[in-house]
């Protein structure tokens, strides 16, 4: 793009943003029925374009069609239906009781739309992570610009088409593009920015948001530890981890990043895990390009990044078990188990985000806690154990955005649970009512009665009588 074209594009972006801003004032007064009508229109578009959604994500990185249904289309529809069912209840002002010092006042909390919001999405669930936050955003009465990932061009183009067909330009628009476009958008004074992506870019987004004091929700990544102790049902654990780690080819923010297995059950568990991976994704004893249930890495860059992580671990003495073939030309990488990894291997520092599973052992719960706490707070903690003491010790001595016991990745789709990270793995929560709140200003309103009111007791002049009242206040109220 030449400088003149870039200038024009920036001007048009600003004028589209101004239009959204102007409309957002009107939206504050809109009845809930209008918001619901918008969500219903979106729902109906998704139903009537299911095959195109499936095809576009398949074209981007050969994601199995049924996996598109379960992990892209269904979560958005579930979010939509949940919002349609509960919107009145979420948006209803909440009456607040007066405490003794506020006798005579009446208070409430109202849920006011924040205004014009920016949603920036990653490539790993390219439909779900654009549309899911948009549902919460619109349910809360806002309008939005959505910036899908440049790395899934088929799906991004389809999301643009969807938004243009379903919404007018003063409700939602899609702006496609890469880092530069994202940076241009981040200069605008949005009322809220909802970013899903890597921790490194999340920091840049927060910095940019600081210039306008836009509020942020940051849905980031990290290394989610998965523990298996000797009391776990090893068959269940193997099946659930095989799915949670390797579906979407490991490119899931909440996928188990590494395993910590109690030493006494390590060999038995790893054997079972291998069997389960092959049952779910393999054919004739290995995971091959012919598998219709196994996705690809989204880009060659990912392929190289992950291959380098494995190579680095091997050079430092790790042992690798590859459960199938590799083909760089089509970004195909079968599951890899890594054991005996040196503590200075790069794989312990970076989020893997691919089908490679480092497996480490532990001998005591204290040792496991230390390993987890030596790293940034993860997005998820998974505990496979039937020992309540072990579970509680881990929950109380570590910090993570979310946690599951005897399960993994499922927490993302529970409509009544908040989803999100903590510090390095994210800021703020999303989904269901928590998503509605992320896009709302919880506005407290206090109403005072006419005539004498309790605060008068504390108005000057500051007499001795007032000192006695203040002493009582400090002691009792």
210 lies in the binding site for ligand NAD (CB under 6 A): no
CB of 129 to ligand NAD, least distance (A): 6
Q: Are 211 and 134 in contact (CB under 8 A)?
A: no
Query: Catalytic one among 137, 253, 404, 408?
Result: 253
Return the residue of 56, 71, 116, 124 that touches ligand NAD, per CB under 6 A: 124
Q: CA triplet 364, 371, 252: central angle to 5 degrees?
A: 115
Return the residue of 190, 247, 337, 353 that touches ligand NAD, per CB under 6 A: 353
Return the residue of 79, 219, 229, 276 that touches ligand NAD, per CB under 6 A: 219
Segment near ligand NAD (CB under 6 A); pick from 84-92, 218-226, 270-278, 366-374: 218-226
CB of 412 to ligand NAD, least distance (A): 8
334 lies in the binding site for ligand NAD (CB under 6 A): no
* E strands in 229-302: 258-262
CB of 428 to ligand NAD, least distance (A): 10
Q: Are 384 and 227 in contact (CB under 8 A)?
A: yes
189 lies in the binding site for ligand NAD (CB under 6 A): no
Roughly what angle, to the nearest 10 degrees, separates helices 74-91 and 32-48? 170
Distances in whole angstroms, Cα of residue 314 to Cα of each of 123, 307, 338: 29, 11, 9
Interatomic CA distance for residues 303 and 283, integer angstroms: 22
163 lies in the binding site for ligand NAD (CB under 6 A): no
Segment near ligand NAD (CB under 6 A); pick from 20-28, 39-47, 217-225, 330-338: 217-225
123 lies in the binding site for ligand NAD (CB under 6 A): yes
For 34, how many CA atoms within 13 A lie in the half-sphere containing its CB? 13
130 given a catalytic annotation: no
Interatomic CA distance for residues 17 and 346, integer angstroms: 42
Segment near ligand NAD (CB under 6 A); pick from 216-224, 270-278, 355-363, 444-452: 216-224
Place of tokens 């030449």: 2
Subset of 125-154 contacting ligand NAD (CB under 6 A): 129, 147, 149-150
Place of tokens 């895990």: 273
220 lies in the binding site for ligand NAD (CB under 6 A): yes
409 lies in the binding site for ligand NAD (CB under 6 A): no
Roughly what angle, to the nearest 10 degrees, separates helices 234-246 and 266-281? 50
72 lies in the binding site for ligand NAD (CB under 6 A): no
CB of 150 to ligand NAD, least distance (A): 5
300 lies in the binding site for ligand NAD (CB under 6 A): no
Size of the site for ligand NAD (CB under 6 A): 27
Return the residue of 196, 224, 226, 411 that touches ligand NAD, per CB under 6 A: 196
349 given a catalytic annotation: no
SS3 state of residue 411:
helix
Give the DSSP per-residue string, 340-397. S--TT-GGGTS---SSEEEEEEESSHHHHHHHHHTSPPPSEEEEE-S-HHHHHHHHHH
CB of 189 to ligand NAD, least distance (A): 16
Distances in whole angstroms, Cα of residue 19 to Cα of each of 25, 28, 129, 157: 11, 15, 25, 23
Pairing between β-strand 106-113 and β-strand 116-120 as defined by DSSP bridges: unpaired
Return the residue of 64, 75, 122, 225 that touches ligand NAD, per CB under 6 A: 122
Segment near ligand NAD (CB under 6 A); pick from 91-99, 118-126, 161-169, 281-289: 118-126
Which residue in 141, 132, 158 sits closest to 80, CA to CA? 132
Segment near ligand NAD (CB under 6 A); pick from 10-18, 219-227, 434-442, 450-458: 219-227
Tokens for 475? Answer: 């002691």
Positions in the binding site for ligand NAD (CB under 6 A)? 120-124, 129, 147, 149-150, 178-179, 182-183, 196-198, 201, 204, 219-221, 253, 351, 353, 379, 421, 426
- Give the active site residues: 219, 253
């Amino acid at each position: 793009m030449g400088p003149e074209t870039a200038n024009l594009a920036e001007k048009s972006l600003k004028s589209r943003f101004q239009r959204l801003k102007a409309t957002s004032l009107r939206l504050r007064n809109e009845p809930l029925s209008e918001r619901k009508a918008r969500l219903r229109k979106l729902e109906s578009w998704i139903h009537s374009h299911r095959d195109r959604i499936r095809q576009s994500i398949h074209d981007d990185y050969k994601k199995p069609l049924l996996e598109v249904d379960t992990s892209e289309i269904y979560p958005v529809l579930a979010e939509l239906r949940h919002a349609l069912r509960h919107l009145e209840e979420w948006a209803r002002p909440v009456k607040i009781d007066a405490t003794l010092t506020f006798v005579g006042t009446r208070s409430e909390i109202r849920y006011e739309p924040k205004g014009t919001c920016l949603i920036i999405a990653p490539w790993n669930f390219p439909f779900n992570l654009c549309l899911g936050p948009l549902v919460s955003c619109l349910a809360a009465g806002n309008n939005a610009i959505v910036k899908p990932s440049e790395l899934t061009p088929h799906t991004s183009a389809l999301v643009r088409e969807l938004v243009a067909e379903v919404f007018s330009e003063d409700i939602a628009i899609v702006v496609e593009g890469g880092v530069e476009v994202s940076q241009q958008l981040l200069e605008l004074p949005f009322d809220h920015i909802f970013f899903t992506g890597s921790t490194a870019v999340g920091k840049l987004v927060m910095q940019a948001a600081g210039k306008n004091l836009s509020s942020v929700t940051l849905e980031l990544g990290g290394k989610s530890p998965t523990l298996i102790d000797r009391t776990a049902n090893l068959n269940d654990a193997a099946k659930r981890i095989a799915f949670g780690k390797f579906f979407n080819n490991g490119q899931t923010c909440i996928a188990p990043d590494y395993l910590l297995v109690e030493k006494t059950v390590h060999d038995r568990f790893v054997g079972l895990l291998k069997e389960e991976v092959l049952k779910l994704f393999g054919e004739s004893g290995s995971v091959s390009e012919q598998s219709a249930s196994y996705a690809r890495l989204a880009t060659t860059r990912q392929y190289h990044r992950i291959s380098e992580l494995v190579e680095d671990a091997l050079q430092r003495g790790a042992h690798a078990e590859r459960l199938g073939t590799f083909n760089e030309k089509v970004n195909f990488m079968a599951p890899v188990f890594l054991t005996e990894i040196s503590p200075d291997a790069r794989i312990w520092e970076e989020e893997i985000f691919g089908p490679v599973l480092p497996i480490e052992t532990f001998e005591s719960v204290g040792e496991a806690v230390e390993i987890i706490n030596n790293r940034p707070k993860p997005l998820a903690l998974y505990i496979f154990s039937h020992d309540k003491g072990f579970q509680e010790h881990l929950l109380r001595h570590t910090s993570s955005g979310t946690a599951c016991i005897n399960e993994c990745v499922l927490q993302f789709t529970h409509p009544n649970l908040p989803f999100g990270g903590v510090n390095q793995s994210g800021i703020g929560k999303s989904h269901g009512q928590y998503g509605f709140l992320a896009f709302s200003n919880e506005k407290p309103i206090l109403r005072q009665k006419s005539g004498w009111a309790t605060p008068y007791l504390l108005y000057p002049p500051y007499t001795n009588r007032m000192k006695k009242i203040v002493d009582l206040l400090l002691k009792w109220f």
